[in-house]
Structure 1
């Protein structure tokens, strides 16, 4: 006795069958959750065109969860506080605008960092 098993993929969005070899498994993450969806070529094109403007301006995150900064290595370096150069600059700018005493270089007082964190 012979048996034939047919595996038919179905488009998760519209429920239509996906022709053999033409399915697109799309994976994405949103708000910390990972998703996977099987789509026909037409729906895969639609999701790609919707995501394209966001992907163009987004920062890519590696599989280890660490962001790949768009700036130079020097700007990505962290200080003894564990904060990046960009974060420290933001803290200094915020502190100056809010009347807190902060030097343009060197260590930032813990009170200033705590106030910045509380405000954000």
Structure 2
């Protein structure tokens, strides 16, 4: 049995038939929007002043919001990392001030109701559930 599939683009602004999908990026996030020829032209007209004065970046750097290849870290992520490090130290785990937190520590933190101290500590030898 043969099938014929038709894809119809609908303008995301006004619901009319779309002529194209327009891609753009802002603040490290990439977007696509389906627009009619009229709305696509309006978008390009509005952005023209910014595009004309902006620096063009390679596709490899597009979307990156920091220099030197470092990842942008949200305040929420940073606060969680600090909490994990603080918890780990308080519970006898060895954890560095910077860098990646080991999977063992991350898992122990997630299961912290049942893990009170690091393996090898007094609490760990008394039969409490240990990370590992």
TM-score interval (norm. to shorter): 0.3 to 0.5
TM-score by structure 1 length? 0.46
Q: Whose strand proportion is higher, 1 or 2?
A: 1
Larger Rg: 2
